[in-house]
Chain A
């Protein structure tokens, strides 16, 4: 890649601000963690996130006491917010893995300034996602029956069920994401250890750095490990959401039973993931003055990725509608009719607006570089992707084959509390990460420096 630092061309901005050196990068990023006092704004944000986390814990407590009946689910809509949120959070996680792994393998070095952040986001999002399959069980205390553990019951999980596949998909994804994130952190944790002034900080970061000394051999092994992990993580970007989509496509339900689901889910996941990265990066960049590291050009790239994946998603919607008509199947046709004209029609139209129509603004270069616009569009896409999952889960379930069993689903206050609670948990973890860890990969950022600045 041609590195054009300091020259703000129309096409591309710099990937790193002018005048940055090894020293300045290290100082800036480490001092944000080690020296800078916790900003008031951050404390305020953390307080709100913490309160929301408590809302989550209260919701979980009440859920354990009463059962999933506190939610709005029923027969026929036996899955509601829990599964919507699961798919939504998992989708959000995808951007992190994509940025870290695929872009690494493709040698897209511009990712270096956002990958750490995105990976952390992945980890926390997958954590939030993983809560839901547990919580949504009727009897969550026996969740481990879904895991192939040799036990006295001598019963294995039922391997034909996509829910069993989910367990493998999500746990693998979480493990690999964590490894990737942590391995990537090791050199920077060593930098933190070396830069820290207080003794306890030196100890904590020292332990976490696992004896990293930066020798050539360390670097050699590190590069190897990182590359291998990237290789491991890459298929996961495709597989995890494909498996999640099997939860739907393996069933017989009109609106779920569709072969297009795996690719369309993956595209949707990346779409929402990038939207979430932008949602988080834009305010953090501003608050911490990181414009030199996460530059307008990064924003531009991410906006373009969103635009591209958004178009794939739009294609998916179009194909769903096309096949509903082309199949000639009365249930499929009714499914599409119900999506557009049924009682939840407004959600489908809202989805088309937020997920397809509004993001078309990203064709305009000025909007891609306008942080306010970009932030708003990202929020819109996140809402849109949540609506998409609502359409898939609820609108398909609430009217299926026998009209006698059709019913409506209305989320209860506990549905909302649990959902908003996980957003709180996610933000809480994000705040703690920003406060305690180098949020931008120091050593990888250094690679972005032009030779003469090093």
Chain B
């Protein structure tokens, strides 16, 4: 309304007085009956509105009206809120600060043995596993399995509900059925009740089992695991008359002999052994001594790959060689007359004898008890006991009966009708029991069988009841490490799926406790057994540190019964024309328990780089004899049983032998693991779990594609992995820098680094090629898996890969490993060719990838001489809800069409920087630990600030062994290598 309207108050009063009745007025203008007000009314009310046909309506007017109506519309919001109180989240869960991850100590258990771990948890979601630096089996590192176990926790294919004969059941129904079944047992003292577990070291579980056996005296407990330590235990029994657990102290060993053992990568204590071994192996820093490793092996392993001397023999020949070594060491055993490998053995024996007390002989789990007994005898003769080898009480709760025997007894009892109730706590015997036992067939005749497992697997399908087990990160438990150190496992998250969550709870239910909780069971056990007066402190300390203080088993003095060992009859000599076969646990899916773990399926197996499948490994010579090519499917027959699978020709494999790996041919593993490879258990029998001789091999003419990640195995004379023997290194410490081009000019100005300058050094002498770094990187950096077809297409996504090259002859090559990450070149070829500046150089020398800027030209990858860039050719990252929970919130999840690569764990650098800034200091040396570095058991990877002359990394970069890859291209890589130094024996003719 117009502002200059004059209101005559007197007139208004008069008008008001003249009104009759209840007249309402709107405003003074109305009362004044001004022209303006009539105008306003006319415009305001639609019936009378003339705005829209008013041709004088201009832009300004329109906007004015619009503004006014918007302002009025706002008034509508001025309503009264309902009186319902909501309460803000003022009290957050204890310790949780949004954005700051927490770390909890617990343990990862495989084959019964624990490795201490620290689990990183983001807002209640465990996302990453690191080793526990205080735990003797870890010392801060982990293996690949441990790294990958976090993925199994979130596996959407995990069993989620109890199953009753394959149909969904409920916990209550199960409890009803269980109590009914047990009711009958009470009267009979448990006759017909059997418990089948995997190897048990858990003190709590042991105690529960003991109580159960007391309550049901006629019940029996059986143990079975396809990869067991039966032979080691039996060997100890022969040697010492009693079962002991052997421990090696490789930090004191100068000469190590491995008898078909992969002690650096598999088995209890492997992570610790790799650390100790590498300490004696590394020469960087001016050391001029290192240990020497001899390996006699019947299937190529990482140990053989890094050995200074490797002898590749058929599985049955190891014993004969061991006898000759034993004789050389002074154990008077019967030796065969054969004269093979004389010089090799002579040099070895001489080396062992000159290193009495500082040598060690390590027998492999796959060699028969006689080899173990002989190894004990040799170690004792060489005076190694108490120095490089020690013995302790067995770590297993029940080591006495061999697992093969135990399972055989169970099956025969079932067949005799003596078993009507079988409780299987973990494990998958229907899939992995020896073929001769036909466990699956026997199981069907058990009236009431219960299976507790992570997956509704092959065994679950054959049982009356299946119960979803909680993952070890979801429940309370305990376990012992290789040296007896106990860890109390604590949960990081409540179980994702309901059920009877753990073996503890199920056993406690059987013992008659209503609604037992794992927490109470484990806590109660330790309350009774901690021996501590202040239990609460004990409990908190143990949980906090991840181990029970003082629980390590003391070493025991045991003497080898030389007479018994020397009178051992020699094993069967296998004629040269017989084809033998070695069974081995798979290096990535182990015995099949990790079959549904995508990270492990896609993890290139060391030496073959095979993913997603197992294969029949043969030597080039054997392949030639049978006219086999890679991927040709052959049938292996043994005692009327058959398996068929594709061949992979493996240089360095012993002739007249094939190797097959367990863990494949699963039928009910899940979406990832089912129907991959072939099941070798079909020819694996209980009397010969690790090697057989006299197999038949026949070509089928079929082909089966195998997805390997590395197709070319020779360095083509390129100076990529630089190596020398210790003697050569001592004579010429700068051998790695020879043929290195001098500084080259560049068109672009040099970068300047005033603050930090990050760099990495990888010690090729220490790398065992164990793959822990690869999975650690995958877990840390949200790296997707792509599937077999994509690996076949050459699109695997790992940011760090372990290149493996062969050198020398096809039949007995030298193997070298070279982990390759992004080199973070100072003159990065990728940076100049990106058209959209999606890969750029930062002020600290990182070559950073800007995912949301990348348009996917892939030019950077083409121009990367190291080919470390990885591209999302398709939508690889999944939005599966449970898998999304695993993702590291500090790292972007990449979508299709985007390039990615190693970032030097820039999120960890940022975290350290934030901490340092808060405290007003520089980042300390060793404060930033990349995921690969943290996981590395042999500490081959060092990361840090090369601008700080006192940092470890700066010192390593200054070491004469330091060299860069492809520096002739003037890329100036920030990742460099410490050249590989080996320590072969000086005797001629020993370079086997």
A contact set with B: CB distance below 8 Å: 66-70, 72-79, 136-140, 142-143, 145-146, 155-158, 160-164, 167, 247, 250-253, 330-331, 334, 397, 399-409
State whether B861 touches A78 (Cβ < 8 A): yes
State whether A334 touches B716 (Cβ < 8 A): yes
B843-876 Cβ-contact flags toward A at 8 Å (1 or 0): 0000000000111111101110111011111110
Interface 9-residue window, one of B318-326, B417-425, B474-482, B826-834: B826-834
State whether B712 touches A403 (Cβ < 8 A): yes
Q: Any chain A CB within 8 A of the CB of B898?
A: yes
Assuming the A-B contacts A138-B871, A146-B855, are A74 and B794 also in contact, with contact meaning beta carbons closer than 8 angstroms in the complex?
yes
**19 A-B interface contacts by CB (under 8 A):** A66-B875, A67-B875, A73-B873, A79-B859, A138-B897, A139-B896, A140-B897, A146-B855, A158-B837, A161-B834, A162-B833, A397-B862, A401-B865, A401-B966, A403-B805, A404-B803, A404-B818, A406-B711, A406-B712
CB-based nearest B residue for A138: B856
CB-based nearest B residue for A165: B835
Which residues of chain B have C-beta atoms less than 8 A from A146's C-beta? 835-836, 855
Per the 8 Å Cβ criterion, residues 701-734 of B in contact with A are 710-718, 720
Q: Bound state CA distance, A253 and B863, in angstroms?
A: 6
Contact of A161 among B794, B805, B832 (CB under 8 A): B832
Contact of B869 among A75, A164, A407 (CB under 8 A): A75
Q: Any chain A CB within 8 A of the CB of B793?
A: yes
Assuming the A-B contacts A76-B861, A330-B717, are A161 and B835 also in contact, with contact meaning beta carbons closer than 8 angstroms in the complex?
yes
Q: Any chain A CB within 8 A of the CB of B801?
A: yes
Assuming the A-B contacts A67-B874, A76-B867, A401-B865, are A161 and B801 also in contact, with contact meaning beta carbons closer than 8 angstroms in the complex?
no
State whether A158 touches B871 (Cβ < 8 A): no
State whether A69 touches B867 (Cβ < 8 A): no
CB-based nearest B residue for A78: B858
State whether A155 touches B856 (Cβ < 8 A): no
Interface SS, B side: loop
Q: Any chain A CB within 8 A of the CB of B517?
A: no
Q: Bound state CA distance, A284 and B899, in angstroms?
A: 46
Which residues of chain B have C-beta atoms less than 8 A from A68's C-beta? 856, 873, 897
Which residues of chain B have C-beta atoms less than 8 A from A163's C-beta? 833-835, 857, 859
Q: Bound state CA distance, A330 and B714, in angstroms?
A: 15
State whether A330 touches B898 (Cβ < 8 A): no
Contact of B873 among A67, A142, A401, A407 (CB under 8 A): A67
CB-based nearest A residue for B715: A403
State whether A402 touches B857 (Cβ < 8 A): no
Q: Any chain A CB within 8 A of the CB of B247?
A: no
Q: Bound state CA distance, A264 and B765, in angstroms?
A: 47
Contact of B899 among A138, A162, A251, A252 (CB under 8 A): A138
Q: Bound state CA distance, A140 and B855, in angstroms?
A: 7
Assuming the A-B contacts A157-B836, A158-B836, are A138 and B896 also in contact, with contact meaning beta carbons closer than 8 angstroms in the complex?
yes
Which residues of chain A have C-beta atoms less than 8 A from B861's C-beta? 75-76, 78
Interface SS, A side: loop
Q: Bound state CA distance, A157 and B838, in angstroms?
A: 10
Q: Any chain A CB within 8 A of the CB of B41?
A: no
Which residues of chain B have C-beta atoms less than 8 A from A251's C-beta? 829, 833, 859, 862-863
CB-based nearest A residue for B720: A402
Q: Bound state CA distance, A406 and B709, in angstroms?
A: 9
Assuming the A-B contacts A67-B896, A138-B872, A145-B836, are A404 and B858 also in contact, with contact meaning beta carbons closer than 8 angstroms in the complex?
no
Q: Which 5 A-B pairs rank lowest in CB-CB distance, beginning with the nearest?
A: A138-B856, A138-B897, A74-B794, A69-B873, A69-B874
Q: Bound state CA distance, A227 and B718, in angstroms?
A: 56
Which residues of chain A have C-beta atoms less than 8 A from B790's C-beta? 69
Which residues of chain A have C-beta atoms less than 8 A from B135's C-beta? none
Which residues of chain A have C-beta atoms less than 8 A from B213's C-beta? none
Q: Bound state CA distance, A106 and B966, in angstroms?
A: 50
State whether A139 touches B820 (Cβ < 8 A): no
Which residues of chain A have C-beta atoms less than 8 A from B874's C-beta? 66-67, 69-70
Q: Bound state CA distance, A401 and B866, in angstroms?
A: 7
Q: Bound state CA distance, A253 and B202, in angstroms?
A: 57
Q: Shortest distance in angstroms between B390's beta carbon and chain A's nearest beta carbon?
A: 40
Q: Bound state CA distance, A69 and B794, in angstroms?
A: 11
Q: Bound state CA distance, A157 and B899, in angstroms?
A: 17
Q: Shortest distance in angstroms between A394's beta carbon and chain B's nearest beta carbon?
A: 11
Interface centre among B820, B832, B856, B874 (most CB of A within 10 A): B856
Q: Any chain A CB within 8 A of the CB of B795?
A: yes
State whether B805 touches A404 (Cβ < 8 A): yes
Contact of A404 among B801, B836, B855, B871 (CB under 8 A): B801
State whether A137 touches B862 (Cβ < 8 A): no
Which residues of chain B have C-beta atoms less than 8 A from A331's C-beta? 718
State whether A77 touches B794 (Cβ < 8 A): yes
Contact of A407 among B716, B794, B805, B829 (CB under 8 A): B794
Contact of A158 among B713, B834, B867, B969 (CB under 8 A): B834
State whether A137 touches B717 (Cβ < 8 A): no
State whether A139 touches B859 (Cβ < 8 A): no
Which residues of chain A have C-beta atoms less than 8 A from B859's C-beta? 78-79, 161, 163, 247, 251
B781-811 Cβ-contact flags toward A at 8 Å (1 or 0): 0000000001001110000010111000000
Q: Bound state CA distance, A447 and B647, in angstroms?
A: 74
Q: Bound state CA distance, A327 and B854, in angstroms?
A: 36
State whether B862 touches A253 (Cβ < 8 A): yes
CB-based nearest A residue for B861: A78
Q: Shortest distance in angstroms between B610's beta carbon and chain A's nearest beta carbon?
A: 15
Assuming the A-B contacts A138-B858, A401-B865, are A74 and B873 also in contact, with contact meaning beta carbons closer than 8 angstroms in the complex?
yes
Which residues of chain B have C-beta atoms less than 8 A from A69's C-beta? 790, 793, 795, 873-874, 896
Q: Bound state CA distance, A126 and B801, in angstroms?
A: 41
CB-based nearest A residue for B609: A404
Contact of A408 among B711, B718, B966 (CB under 8 A): B711
Which residues of chain B have C-beta atoms less than 8 A from A401's C-beta? 718, 865-867, 966, 969
Which residues of chain A have C-beta atoms less than 8 A from B863's C-beta? 251-253
CB-based nearest A residue for B874: A69
Contact of B866 among A72, A79, A402 (CB under 8 A): A402
Q: Bound state CA distance, A110 and B833, in angstroms?
A: 43
Q: Bound state CA distance, A136 and B871, in angstroms?
A: 13
- If A75-B871, A76-B861, A252-B969 are given as contacts, then 4 extra A-B residue pairs at C-beta distance below 8 Å, sorted by A number, are A67-B874, A69-B873, A78-B859, A145-B836
State whether A404 touches B820 (Cβ < 8 A): yes
State whether B898 touches A155 (Cβ < 8 A): no
CB-based nearest B residue for A401: B865
Per the 8 Å Cβ criterion, residues 862-892 of B in contact with A are 862-863, 865-867, 869-875
CB-based nearest A residue for B718: A330
Q: Bound state CA distance, A351 and B829, in angstroms?
A: 30
Which residues of chain A have C-beta atoms less than 8 A from B829's C-beta? 251-252
Assuming the A-B contacts A138-B896, A401-B866, A402-B820, are A74 and B837 also in contact, with contact meaning beta carbons closer than 8 angstroms in the complex?
no
Q: Bound state CA distance, A66 and B876, in angstroms?
A: 11
State whether A75 touches B870 (Cβ < 8 A): yes
CB-based nearest A residue for B804: A404
Which residues of chain B have C-beta atoms less than 8 A from A74's C-beta? 793-795, 873
Contact of A138 among B711, B712, B713, B854 (CB under 8 A): B854
